Amino acid sequence: MTSTDVNDATTATPQGVLLTEGAAAKVKALLAGAERDDLALRIAVQPGGCSGLRYQLFFDERQLDGDVVADFSGVNVVTDRMSAPYLMGATIDFVDTIEKQGFTIDNPNATGSCACGDSFN
């Protein structure tokens, strides 16, 4: 799978997750501020929220059995094997606008979401 020019996406992990250059830059800045070089960005899907599933993005130093690690511009991104089918083709970006600041996930597998935008199905 190759990337497109949308949001400057880089190449996909074997699960199909994309991390944009903007998101990679923000992760690097956060890790530099924490003075940690042993952490990776873990992306997971967990049960929860009013629509059934919720994304989790967090820094993690663990390596779990079945994890796949991919490098995006020097940022290690980890996805567990149970979350992979839900994240196939998903693009993680970082936006910083007047209306919104934070990481966003554009997931073609999500068929619906809750009104607050916190969970999907």
What does the pLDDT read at residue 48?
73
pTM for the full predicted model: 0.75
Which domains does the chain possess?
A: 7-106 (2.60.300.12)
Give the pLDDT band (50/70/90) at residue 51. Answer: low
What does the pLDDT read at residue 9?
42
Q: Note the pLDDT tens digit of each residue in 69-94.
A: 888 988 999 989 888 888 888 899 99
What does the pLDDT read at residue 8?
42
What does the pLDDT read at residue 25?
94
What does the pLDDT read at residue 28?
93
102 three-class SS? strand
**Mean pLDDT value across residues 36-64:** 85
- The CA distance from 112 to 115, in Å, is 10
- The residue ranking higher by pLDDT, 67 or 49, is 67
CB 66: neighbour CB atoms within 10 A? Answer: 10
Torsion of CA 79, 58, 40, 81, to 10 degrees: -10
- The CA distance from 10 to 61, in Å, is 23
